[in-house]
Structure 1
């Protein structure tokens, strides 16, 4: 493993010091570790393309650079999460065209087999036979799905996906959906398209990625309306996100009230700051240790039966 890594927050620092800081965070809370529902592992050539996208993202973020903090090789990245004390993480991956999802699901199944602490992750795309391969993935042990409305540029309420959403609702398999309009809006992002999905499938265990950034309050409203809707913290409340899409202070009581359905997400390794900054950003919300314990571990552990 690399001995040092750089971050925009300061000079190089030893990896073991960084890991010790993360462990101190959850140790102070009396937790056995962290459960991170939003981390990315995918075929290397696909991940490199994702990194290229972020490397050129400045024009979409008003010139704010998005350096990837953790560019290590796959095995090193997985070990770093373990060093942080992450008990369970995910392999969030997603297609951008037809015919890609099934291949990604095969890769993710193999990754889960060789990475026991990674929750077996799968994905989907609006195309013929999507319900078939979604059911196959669930039967093969997939424990969480990822859908990316922005990158895929599709309507989540597309009739082609209706059977797949129904299958996931029936199985009780959580699905993390990037459906908010950050960092840049897409044709089908925002709360309205995914609200149509929930109207048809109210038992769908939907996890709204990035707290629905920037439409935070609208997605909090969906969670208040549907008991199986959750939100992950990915990048929300960090200095980086607050500079782009600040969370409304007036919505903090609603966030506190949904404390049993907020889940820790980080976007590791594709983050422009150290992993610990996401944790610090949650702590400084001032919602209390019980809320932090639930968000950083207990809610995820309960959802995935850890």
Structure 2
């Protein structure tokens, strides 16, 4: 595994971590992991994302040293070295006229990266139903909606046809809709509740366990059997210090264990990939629960065998 010099960062040699992640998998009897929340996007877009984290912007308010700031193929190789069997290319627009271009880039990335689940995105605009239909026809397996960065209401009428298409297709949508690390104008469980009241079969994957509204999004999962949640950044020391998961809700994690998926936010995390995995053991929910989260649940969702 090559070690690349990241701009403005200390070089990390991840060789020993590869062995530690392998040991984690071996303890669970798993040959592989599935990570539903990883970021690959055009380099000029990713550079802007990294610059934002470097500035400790208003949505973070704390130092955020990106640990895996390495070139694209090295990042792909890093996930493979960790034993990640399938991953995603989460990407998202922040203005009109951007999503279709991102979808084209992501389709090309998926075509040259067969272990990446073909990912697409959208934005509330007149052209959205057309390019979402095109992405589905091209084989998109998962979509990303970032309500906080996109600064849009998921119930915007311009998205009605999009949600209908995705509900009918049964294609999962990873949606950043919780109000952490800082609230947006349209974040929070109420707007997602309104969306699901209209499209109850939508297979939404609530990113970051819906932090900080953990309990409210678990309530929605109780009501809507196709709603899932991903663990991205949840339960880690980094997050627990500011947005702790409520201890009285831990039994609900066990009850909903088959609808919780592992996500990491790789490469944009300020700690080791291993930390995100070991955080899943924080509450002592057992090896079967962890195996489901890091592999089995996503394998079932995406029909990976």
Instruction: Return the TM-score normalized by structure 1.
Output: 0.95
Which residue number in structure 2 is paired with residue 210 of structure 1?
Answer: 208
The CA RMSD measured in Å over matched residues stands at 1.5
Which residue number in structure 1 is paired with residue 95 of structure 2?
Answer: 97
Tell me the distance in 1 between the aligned counterparts of 2:85 and 2:2. Answer: 22
Q: Is residue 26 from structure 1 mapped to residue 38 from structure 2 by the alignment? A: no
For 1:122-133, list aligned pairs within 5 A.
122-133=120-131
Tell me the distance in 2 between the aligned counterparts of 1:279 and 1:174. Answer: 22
In the alignment, is the contact (CA less than 8 A) between 1:5 and 1:14 conserved in 2?
Answer: no
Which residue number in structure 1 is paired with residue 301 of structure 2?
Answer: 303
The one-character-per-residue Cα deviations of 1:13-64 (angstroms, maximum 9, x if unpaired) are 64221111111111111112100000000000000100111112265445x3
Q: After alignment, is 122-131 or 13-22 more displaced? A: 13-22
Q: Is residue 140 from structure 1 mapped to residue 138 from structure 2 by the alignment? A: yes
Cα distance, 1:5–1:278 mapped onto 2, change above 3 Å: farther
Q: CA deviation at 1:5?
A: 8.7
The one-character-per-residue Cα deviations of 1:164-222 (angstroms, maximum 9, x if unpaired) are 01100100100000000111100000001111111111000000000001000000111
In the alignment, is the contact (CA less than 8 A) between 1:58 and 1:65 conserved in 2?
Answer: no
Tell me the distance in 2 between the aligned counterparts of 1:259 and 1:247. Answer: 16
Which residue number in structure 2 is paired with residue 254 of structure 1?
Answer: 252
Q: Which runs of 4+ in 1 moved over 6 A?
A: none
Which ranges of structure 1 fall in alignment gaps of 5 or more residues?
none
Which residue number in structure 2 is paired with residue 49 of structure 1?
Answer: 48
Which residue number in structure 2 is paired with residue 17 of structure 1?
Answer: 16
Instruction: Return the TM-score normalized by structure 2.
Output: 0.96
Which residue number in structure 2 is paired with residue 35 of structure 1?
Answer: 34
Aligned length: 301
In the alignment, is the contact (CA less than 8 A) between 2:37 and 2:88 conserved in 1?
Answer: yes
SS at match of 2:295: helix
For 1:92-241, list aligned pairs within 5 A.
92-241=90-239
Tell me the distance in 2 between the aligned counterparts of 1:35 and 1:150. Answer: 25
Tell me the distance in 1 between the aligned counterparts of 2:12 and 2:174. Answer: 32
Which residue number in structure 1 is paired with residue 86 of structure 2?
Answer: 88
Tell me the distance in 2 between the aligned counterparts of 1:207 and 1:294. Answer: 15
Q: CA deviation at 1:12?
A: 7.2
Tell me the distance in 1 between the aligned counterparts of 2:217 and 2:290. Answer: 20
Tell me the distance in 1 between the aligned counterparts of 2:303 and 2:183. Answer: 34
The one-character-per-residue Cα deviations of 1:138-175 (angstroms, maximum 9, x if unpaired) are 11000000000000000001111011011001001000
